[in-house]
A and B are shown apart, each in its own frame.
Chain A
Amino acid sequence: MSGEPSFTLDGQQIPFQEGQTVMQAALEAGVYIPHLCFNPEFTPHGSCRVCLVKVNNRMQAACTTPAAGGQTVQSETEELREIRRGILQMLFVEGNHVCPACEKSGACQLQAVAYYVGMLAPHFKHFYPRRPVDASHPDAVIDFNRCIMCELCVRASRDVDGKNIFAVEGRGIQAHLVVNTPSGQLGATGFSLHDKAAQVCPTGSILTKHRGYDIPIGQRLYDRKPINVVGDVAQLPDSQGGRRHD
């Protein structure tokens, strides 16, 4: 065979370049595969499992699986949607995601993906963890209740900002995000709203202070169109309700 290599995704031919993952090739071809810990600007992490697809009948994370010629990939099947719904439901009960009181509601990637996979109720028993809000920084606040441990802020701060402000501590179910200072307070770091780390959070965990619900309902990022059409919060400018400060 000559020309560009390709694989099929739900029956559609997806061309790819050598070294691309299934996720990268699909997004480049304009086909959405739901994801949370994946951000095209960062090395894939493969931790949230929301991007689970079947590659030649085997369950794999689309964001970490290299594309290969002739692969058959399934994504939008009821079986996979069911699994994704389950993952989302677990994420929602593990933290405290109170959408009606969250200012990111309507422009939250977690919420938008939940809608996309058809998750309407949390299903599992809530953990109701007690996690304090860190408002020690003059311009930003971190609400750990909403953190889904995607580690995008960790990666952004380390790899782009060169500040290494965030880290994950603990293992398994005990794992949680921390601020890398002796006091554990964001205010004690050199964090800035212009940092890449301030622009990647897919939930309402890292927020600009004093803003509140400044975008009216109806005009928020995902109010009119779903995430597969609109794209990720981290890829869209602040002026549109995204997180990017250009």
Chain B
Amino acid sequence: MSELETAAHPEQLCRVAIDPLSRVEGHGKVTLLADRNHHIRQARLHIVEFRGFEKFIQGRPYWEVPVAVQRLCGICPVSHNLAAAKAVDQLIGVEQLPPAAEKIRRLMHYGQTLQSHAVHFFHLASPDFLFDFDNPVAQRNIGGVMADYPDIARQGVRLRKYGQEVIRITAGKRVHGTGTVPGGVNKALTLRERNYLLTDLELMTQWGRNILKLMKKAYEASPGYFTRFAAIQSNYLSLVRADGALDLYHGGLRVKNDQGDLLFDHLDYRRYSQVIREQVKSWSYMKFPFINSLGPEKGWYRVGPLARINNCDFIPTPVAEEERREFMALNNGQPIHATLAYHWARMIELLYATEAIRELLLDPDIFGDELVTRGEMTREGIGVIEAPRGTLFHHYRIDEDGLIEKANLIVSTTNNNQAMNESIRQVAENYLDGKELTEPLLNQIEVAVRAYDPCLSCATHALGQMPLIVELVEEESGAMMDCLVRDADGKVRESFVEF
């Protein structure tokens, strides 16, 4: 771990806080501890994670959980729904869903992936690529993209809508649907619904390719920046299919180290608690998961699109596979560590989602009428899924009456917790150390965090206009030395308000 995490004499340091991070869903805060010469010695991302759910669900009937758990997150409710549904399948003793049920759930999941990736890239992240850091903040948001790249912005909106339609048709509603039931789903697709979803699909794949072209252009424009920005060496964790293919719905756990060596592979995720531990740190509400055998220092890992593309042997659809090969060639097939590569990997997945949806829509199984199955009740269920932001663990234990006794969730953003801190530290080290704090520099920290697409308190979409406060506090005396405020309208002002 970098030596920056805990400074030797924190009492002599100034504190710089960026709060909240703009364009990150929810609310976050970055503390940079600087010494008197403005040297950044410590960097910490504070996240208020919503942990209330585990308590809230206690004493509730297990069959209610997949629908109730969707309230955890307004951004990827389907992922929580499906992870919980997979756990509930185990509770009722179901190992294998009927083909129709599994395929409809997959369809739902790929719809969610498409929708979530589209929102992240087009609404939140594309300004990071399309505009220079010197551009005014007021332009570096979706409004700016709309004005300068109207086609891209429109395609983003349509891709998102398409993903939402897939969700609506499979789950019944665009948010908080009820499509999954214990051991299956409650509805198959009709021919009409299938044909409706097929109508625009070619176009979606085409747009996915176009985005990747744009991505590659952005890369070629400054490969050095792209490769080095907030780059960190890490382990990677994801699910992979039994044959090593990328699979977002189901598979075994695979972990590669930074050299690309397999640490373990095809591990039954029901054994996750034997290989993953969570560390608690006094300064953060969010836990820090790590690979048990490596320990907390070396065992932290990254999840999400970059981890999945680094980890899988191939993508089972042709167009996305072509893109994967091109991407992996950047580092001769070795894992790619560039944090900005998350965006690229995410768009490969968006493309893959369009192809996967197509395959599923053309599969006659989705019209099947065997939608539910049941087995012998058990007391423990663990569901794991590759949510848009990364591996998501849902673990439930029920009492003999079927009420939830205990729940444990490891959400994607928690899995990336240590990695986000490492990336911020890296940015702080390379870009902020020894300089006066300026708005573009602070933006770079946000850009680093945003690459991971964290869902902080999982609440709102802050589309680039969130207020931002930067304080420079001398920790020893608590005196405010400087304070920079970015208001909701994007205007930046100096403030000397006493705190």
- What is A's interface to B at a CB cutoff of 8 Å? 98, 100-103, 132-133, 135-136, 141, 143, 187, 209-219
Contacts and interface: CB of A to CB of B under 8 A. Distances in A.
Interface string B170-192: 01110011110110001100000
A213 B187 CA distance: 11
B403 A212 contact: no
Interface string B86-100: 000000100000000
Given A209-B61, A216-B186, A101 B67 contact: yes
Contacts of A212: 63-64, 66-67, 181-182
Contacts of B64: 101-103, 212
Most buried by A among B59, B372, B401: B401
Interface of B: 59-61, 63-64, 66-68, 70-71, 92, 171-173, 176-179, 181-182, 186-187, 372, 401-403
13 contacts: A101-B64, A101-B71, A102-B64, A133-B403, A135-B401, A135-B402, A141-B401, A214-B181, A214-B372, A216-B178, A217-B171, A217-B178, A218-B172
Contact of B187 (A143, A211, A216): A216
A209 B181 contact: no
B63 A210 contact: yes
A213 B186 contact: yes
Contacts of A100: 67, 70-71, 176
Contacts of B92: 210
Contact of B61 (A141, A216, A218): A141
A209 B402 contact: yes
A204 to B, nearest CB: 10
A129 B179 CA distance: 30
B181 A213 contact: yes
A133 B59 contact: yes
Contacts of A213: 67, 178, 181, 186
Contacts, number: 64
The 3 residue pairs across chains A and B that have the minimum distance between CB atoms: A217-B172, A213-B178, A135-B401
Contacts of A133: 59-61, 403
B179 A216 contact: yes
Contacts of B59: 132-133
A214 B70 CA distance: 17
Contacts of B176: 100
Nearest to A219: B187
A209 B61 CA distance: 8
A101 to B, nearest CB: 4
Nearest to A187: B401
Contacts of B71: 100-101
Nearest to A134: B401
B401 A211 contact: no
B61 A135 contact: yes
Contact of A217 (B60, B177, B401): B177
B379 to A, nearest CB: 14
Contact of B403 (A135, A187, A216, A217): A135
Most buried by A among B171, B186, B372: B186
A101 B173 contact: no
Nearest to A211: B63
Contacts of A101: 64, 67-68, 71
Contacts of A135: 61, 401-403
Contacts of B68: 98, 101
Contacts of A102: 64
A103 B173 CA distance: 14
A141 B176 CA distance: 23
Contacts of A136: 401
Nearest to A131: B59
A135 B58 CA distance: 13
Contacts of B182: 210, 212
A219 to B, nearest CB: 8
Given A100-B71, A101-B71, A214 B186 contact: yes
B67 A103 contact: yes
A217 B59 CA distance: 26
Contacts of B181: 211-214
B402 A210 contact: yes
Nearest to A136: B401
B213 to A, nearest CB: 39
Contacts of B187: 216, 219
Nearest to A216: B187
A158 B68 CA distance: 34
A141 B61 CA distance: 9
